[in-house]
C-alpha cells in the first residue's frame, strides 16, 4: 500500500515519521513524505494512489493539518490517520468529518497492524491504540503495552528527509522527572506506572545506528540527541562516552537537567565530544519551580550546573517558561535574574502552552488563571485570557528575554520596554538574529542543515516578525507562522 505523510516542514527530520516508515517499508509498503500544502499533496496523489494519508501534528499545528486534510478529502477517497503528541492526549478532532483514525501513544506496532488489516480487507475497528471512526461510530480501543526493549525497534528511515548535515536521534524514551507542563507528564498519566523512568537503547545499538547513517551520508557533521534526559544514567553515559569517542568523533548536542549535572557527567560529555547542551531553568523562583512545575532544585544548583558546563567549554542554551499561572511580574523577572547569573550562550523563553494531558493545564483551568498563549482555537472556551495589554507584555517579555540575558544592562529597562505594544517586532528581530548567530557558531555548528537552509529559515522568521500584522510570539513554528492568540 502507498502511505503518504504530510508535514509542514519536509526538510526537517521528523523522528516519529521516520520510525513509522521503517516498519511500514520493512513490511513491503511504499512511504513518501510531502509538504503539507494542498496543491503539493494533490499533485502527489495524482501521480500515485495512496490508501492512507497520515499526519503527526503537534498541538500548535493541528488546526492547520485538519484544514489541509479537509481540503484533500473533499475530492479524494482514502483513510486519514492522525497520531502523535496532540491526538494522544486530546481526541476531540475525531469529530471532524474527514478524520478516520487516531493513534494514541506509541505507533510502530499499532500502525502496521492497522495497515495489514486494511490490506487484507479485514475490519480495522479493533486495533489496539487506535480510535477508528466507521459509519459515524467511534471505536475506542485499549492501549497496547509500551515497548520495553527499544533495541528491537528498527532504525529510523532517514531516506525520507534527505540533505541534512546533522542527524537527529533518540537513545531512549521517557524521563526520570515528571514536570507538570511536559509531555512525559501527559504520558505517565496516560500509561500509568509502566511509563515510569527511561526506556533506554543499548549504547551499541545507538552507535550502530549512527555509524550506519554516517556511512550512508558523508555530509553528516553534527549529531543532535533529542532525548528528554540524556544524562540520567551515569553507567550508560560512561559506556557511551567511551564508544562514541572511539567510533564516531562527531560533535553533538544533548539535553541536560540541573539535578543530574556534576563534574563527572560534564567531563564525560566533554570527553565524548559534546559541543553544546540545552538545560531547562524554566523559572527563577524556587517556589514556582517546586509547587507549579514540580521541579525541585535550588537556584544555587542551577547556577553551579551552568558554571560547570561553561567552565568545560561546552556551549549552553537555557530553556525558560513565562506567563506562569499565578506568577507575579516580579517572579517572572526572577527568571531573567537567574539566567543572567548562569551566563548562557543563548536563552530561550516561551509562553507557557497548556498542552493537553498535562497537569499544568488542570492547574490553569481549575484556578481560572489567564492564559496568554493558546494555539489550538478549539481549546479557547476552556481558558480565560488576560487583557490585550497583558498579552503584549508577556509576548514582549519572551522576545526581550534573550537580549536582556545577553546584555544585562537592559535589565532596569525591561518593565518599560515590555509595555510598548509594538516592541515585539524590534525585540523579536534582534533576538532572532542573536539566536541565529549563537546557534550557528556555538549551539549547533555547523548549523543544523547548512548555511543556505538557515538563511531561508531565518529569512522567513524575520519576514514574519517584521511584516505580519499578527503578533509573533516565540512559540511559533518556523514554517507555521499562523499564530493564534485568542483574547476574550
Ligand atoms: C525533537 C523535538 C523537536 C524538534 C523536532 C520536531 C519535529 N518536527 O520532529 C524541534 C527542535 C524542531 C522541535 C520544535 C518544537 N517542539 Co518539540 N519536541 C521534540 C521532542 C524532544 C522529541 C520528538 C520526537 O522526535 N520523538 C520521538 C518519536 C519517535 O516519538 P513520538 O513523536 O511520540 O512518535 C510516536 C507516537 O507519538 C506515534 N506517532 C507520532 N506521530 C504519528 C502519526 C501517525 C499517523 C501514527 C499512526 C502514529 C504517530 O508513533 C511514534 C512512534 O512510536 C519532543 C518531546 C518528546 N520526548 O517526544 C518535543 C515536543 C514534541 N515538542 C514540543 C513543542 C511544543 C515544540 C515547539 C512548539 C517548541 C517551541 N516553543 O517552538 C516546536 C514546534 C516545531 C514543529 N511544529 O515542528 C512539545 C509538543 C507538545 C504538543 N502537545 O504539541 C513536545 C512534546 C515537548 C513538550 N513540551 O512536552 N521539537
Ligand atoms: S526534566 Fe525535562 S523532559 Fe523530564 S519531565 Fe521535566 S521537562 Fe520533561
pLDDT (tens digit, 0 to 9) for every residue of the chain, 488 residues total?
999 999 998 888 999 999 999 999 999 999 999 999 999 999 999 999 999 999 999 998 899 999 999 999 999 999 999 999 999 999 999 999 999 999 999 999 999 999 999 999 999 999 999 999 999 999 999 999 999 999 999 999 999 988 778 899 999 999 999 999 999 999 999 999 999 999 999 999 999 999 999 999 888 999 999 999 999 999 999 999 999 999 998 999 999 999 999 999 999 999 999 999 999 999 999 999 999 999 999 999 999 999 999 999 999 999 999 999 999 999 999 999 999 999 999 999 998 989 999 999 999 999 989 888 877 878 878 888 888 788 888 889 999 999 999 999 999 999 999 998 888 889 999 999 999 999 999 998 866 667 788 888 888 888 878 877 666 554 443 333 333 344 33
d(CA 177, ligand 2 centre) in Å? 6
Length of the chain: 488
Contact (CB, 8 A) for 248 and 211: yes
If asked whether residues 133 and 170 sit together in one domain, one would say no
d(CA 181, ligand 2 centre) in Å? 8
If asked whether residues 191 and 330 sit together in one domain, one would say yes
The ligand placed nearest to the CA atom of residue 166 is: 1
The ligand placed nearest to the CA atom of residue 228 is: 2
If asked whether residues 354 and 241 sit together in one domain, one would say yes
The ligand placed nearest to the CA atom of residue 229 is: 2
The ligand placed nearest to the CA atom of residue 107 is: 1
d(CA 121, ligand 1 centre) in Å? 32
Which of 105, 140, 175 lies at the terminal end of a domain, its last residue? 140
If asked whether residues 129 and 25 sit together in one domain, one would say yes
If asked whether residues 128 and 194 sit together in one domain, one would say no
Strands lying side by side in the sheet with 52-55: 30-35, 2-7, 52-55, 79-83, 101-103, 130-134, 137-140
Q: What is the pLDDT of residue 469?
A: 64
Q: Is the CB of 279 under 6 A from ligand 2?
A: no
Atom of ligand 1 nearest to the CA of 89: 83
Phi, psi angle pair for 252, to nearest 5°: -140, 165
d(CA 413, ligand 1 centre) in Å? 36
Q: pTM for this one?
A: 0.95
Task: Indicate which CATH number applies to the domain containing 43.
Answer: 3.40.50.2300
Which of 140, 155, 174 lies at the terminal end of a domain, its last residue? 140
Atom of ligand 2 nearest to the CA of 178: 5
Q: Which of 229, 209, 205 is nearest to 168 (CA)?
A: 209
Phi, psi angle pair for 225, to nearest 5°: -80, 115
If asked whether residues 295 and 422 sit together in one domain, one would say yes
Compute the distance between CA of residue 438 and CA of residue 442 in angstroms, rounded to an integer: 5
Contact (CB, 8 A) for 81 and 111: yes
Q: What is the pLDDT of residue 446?
A: 66
> Which protein residues are within 6 Å of ligand 1, measured from CB?
12, 14-16, 19-20, 54, 56, 58-61, 81, 83-86, 88, 103, 106-108, 111, 170, 182-183, 226, 228, 350, 353, 355, 475, 477
**Secondary structure, 3-state, the chain:** CEEEEEECCCCCCCHHHHHHHHHHHHCCCEEEEEECCHHHHHHHHHHCCCCEEEECCCHHHHHHHHHHHHHHHCCCCCEEEEECCCCCCCCHHHHCCCCCEEECCCCHHHHHHHHHHHHHCCCCCCCCCEEEEECCEEEECCCCCCCCCHHHCCCCCHHHCCCCCEEEECCEEEECCCCCCCHHHHHHHHHHHHHCEEEECCHHHHHHHHHHHHHHCCCCCEEEECCCCCCCCHHHHHHHHHHHHHHCCCCEEEEECHHHCCHHHHHHHHHHCEEEEEEEEECCCHHHHHHHCCCCCCHHHHHHHHHHHHHCCCEEEEEEEECCCCCCHHHHHHHHHHHHHHCCCEEEEEECCCCCCCHHHHHHHHHCCEECCCCCHHHHHHCEECCHHHHHHHHHHHHHHHHHHHCHHHHHHHHHHHCCCCHHHHHHHHHHHHHHHHHHHHHCCCCCCCHHHHHHHHHHHHHHHHHCCCCCCCCCECCECCCCCCCC
Full residue range of the structural domain in which residue 323 is found: 163-467
Contact (CB, 8 A) for 69 and 81: no
Compute the distance between CA of residue 279 and CA of residue 55 in angstroms, rounded to an integer: 30
d(CA 260, ligand 2 centre) in Å? 12
Residue pointed to by grid coordinates 516498519: 23
If asked whether residues 123 and 191 sit together in one domain, one would say no
d(CA 283, ligand 2 centre) in Å? 13
Residue pointed to by grid coordinates 506506572: 193
d(CA 254, ligand 2 centre) in Å? 13
If asked whether residues 235 and 120 sit together in one domain, one would say no
If asked whether residues 130 and 170 sit together in one domain, one would say no
Compute the distance between CA of residue 210 and CA of residue 367 in angstroms, rounded to an integer: 47
Nearest CA to ligand 1 atom 13: 477
Nearest CA to ligand 2 atom 8: 182
If asked whether residues 129 and 186 sit together in one domain, one would say no
Nearest CA to ligand 2 atom 2: 228
Domain presence at residue 418? yes
Residue pointed to by grid coordinates 520510525: 19
Domain presence at residue 386? yes
Q: Which residues contact 28 (CB under 8 A, 6 or more apart)?
A: none
Contact (CB, 8 A) for 34 and 61: no
Compute the distance between CA of residue 368 and CA of residue 382 in angstroms, rounded to an integer: 9
Domain presence at residue 149? no
Q: Which of 111, 56, 109, 53 is nearest to 84 (CA)?
A: 56
Q: Which of 68, 124, 74 is nearest to 101 (CA)?
A: 124
Domain presence at residue 313? yes
Q: CA torsion 350→358→293→380, rounded to 10°? A: 50
Q: What is the pLDDT of residue 366?
A: 92
If asked whether residues 88 and 205 sit together in one domain, one would say no
Nearest CA to ligand 1 atom 30: 16
**452 prior amide bond cis, ω within 30:** no
Q: Is the CB of 171 under 6 A from ligand 2?
A: no
The ligand placed nearest to the CA atom of residue 279 is: 2
CB-based burial label for 481 (10 Å; 0-12, 13-18, 19+): middle
Domain presence at residue 156? no
Domain presence at residue 157? no
If asked whether residues 175 and 126 sit together in one domain, one would say no
Q: What is the pLDDT of residue 336?
A: 98
d(CA 8, ligand 1 centre) in Å? 13
d(CA 178, ligand 2 centre) in Å? 6
Domain count, the chain: 2
Compute the distance between CA of residue 333 and CA of residue 347 in angstroms, rounded to an integer: 14
Cell numbers given for 127: 486495533
Domain presence at residue 427? yes
Contact (CB, 8 A) for 383 and 365: yes
Q: What is the pLDDT of residue 301?
A: 98
Task: Indicate which CATH number applies to the domain containing 341.
Answer: 3.80.30.20
Domain presence at residue 482? no
Amino acid at each position: 500500500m502507498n502511505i503518504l505523510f504530510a508535514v509542514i516542514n519536509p526538510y526537517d527530520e521528523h523522528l516519529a515519521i521516520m520510525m513509522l516508515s521503517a516498519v511500514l517499508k520493512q513490511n513491503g509498503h511504499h512511504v513518501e513524505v510531502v509538504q503539507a500544502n494542498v496543491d503539493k499533496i494533490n499533485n502527489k496523489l495524482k501521480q500515485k494512489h495512496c490508501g492512507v494519508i497520515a499526519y503527526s501534528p503537534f498541538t500548535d499545528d493541528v488546526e492547520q493539518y485538519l484544514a489541509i486534510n479537509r481540503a484533500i478529502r473533499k475530492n479524494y477517497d482514502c483513510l486519514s490517520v492522525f497520531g502523535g503528541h496532540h491526538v494522544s492526549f486530546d481526541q476531540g478532532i475525531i469529530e471532524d468529518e474527514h478524520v478516520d483514525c487516531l493513534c494514541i501513544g506509541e505507533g510502530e506496532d499499532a500502525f502496521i497492524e492497522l495497515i495489514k488489516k486494511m490490506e487484507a480487507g479485514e475490519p480495522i475497528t479493533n486495533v489496539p491504540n487506535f480510535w477508528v471512526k466507521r459509519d459515524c461510530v467511534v471505536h475506542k480501543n485499549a492501549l497496547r503495552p509500551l515497548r520495553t526493549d527499544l533495541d528491537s525497534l528498527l532504525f529510523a528511515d532517514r531516506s525520507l528527509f534527505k540533505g541534512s548535515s546533522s542527524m537527529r536521534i533518540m537513545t531512549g524514551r521517557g524521563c526520570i522527572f515528571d514536570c507538570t507542563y511536559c509531555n512525559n507528564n501527559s504520558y505517565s498519566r496516560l500509561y500509568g506506572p509502566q511509563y515510569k523512568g527511561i526506556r533506554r537503547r543499548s549504547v551499541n545499538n545507538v552507535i550502530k545506528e549512527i555509524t550506519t547513517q554516517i556511512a550512508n551520508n558523508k555530509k553528516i557533521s553534527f549529531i543532535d540527541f533529542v532525548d528528554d534526559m540524556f544524562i540520567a544514567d551515569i553507567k550508560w553515559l560512561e559506556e557511551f562516552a567511551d564508544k562514541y569517542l572511539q567510533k564516531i568523533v562527531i560533535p553533538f548536542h544533548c539535553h541536560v537537567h540541573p539535578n543530574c549535572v556534576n563534574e563527572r557527567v560534564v567531563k564525560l560529555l566533554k570527553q565524548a565530544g559534546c559541543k553544546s547542551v540545552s538545560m531547562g531553568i524554566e523559572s527563577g523562583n524556587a517556589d514556582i519551580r517546586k509547587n507549579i512545575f514540580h521541579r525541585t532544585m535550588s537556584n544555587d544548583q542551577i547556577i553551579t550546573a551552568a558554571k560547570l558546563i561553561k567552565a568545560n567549554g561546552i556551549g549552553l542554551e537555557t530553556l525558560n517558561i513565562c506567563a506562569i499561572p499565578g506568577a507575579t511580574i516580579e517572579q517572572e523577572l526572577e527568571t531573567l535574574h537567574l539566567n543572567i547569573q548562569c551566563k548562557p550562550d543563548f536563552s530561550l523563553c516561551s509562553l507557557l502552552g497548556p498542552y493537553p494531558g498535562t497537569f499544568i493545564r488542570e492547574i490553569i483551568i481549575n484556578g481560572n488563571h489567564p492564559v496568554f498563549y493558546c494555539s489550538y482555537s478549539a481549546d479557547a472556551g476552556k481558558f480565560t485570557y488576560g487583557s490585550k495589554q497583558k498579552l503584549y507584555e508577556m509576548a514582549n517579555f519572551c522576545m526581550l528575554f534573550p537580549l536582556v540575558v545577553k546584555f544585562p544592562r537592559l535589565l532596569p529597562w525591561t518593565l518599560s520596554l515590555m509595555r510598548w505594544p509594538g516592541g515585539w517586532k524590534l525585540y523579536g528581530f534582534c533576538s532572532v538574529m542573536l539566536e541565529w548567530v549563537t546557534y550557528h557558531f556555538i549551539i549547533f555548528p555547523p548549523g543544523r542543515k547548512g548555511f543556505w537552509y538557515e538563511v531561508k529559515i531565518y529569512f522567513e522568521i524575520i519576514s514574519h516578525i517584521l511584516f505580519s500584522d499578527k503578533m509573533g510570539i516565540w512559540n511559533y513554528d518556523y514554517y507555521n507562522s499562523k499564530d493564534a492568540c485568542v483574547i476574550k
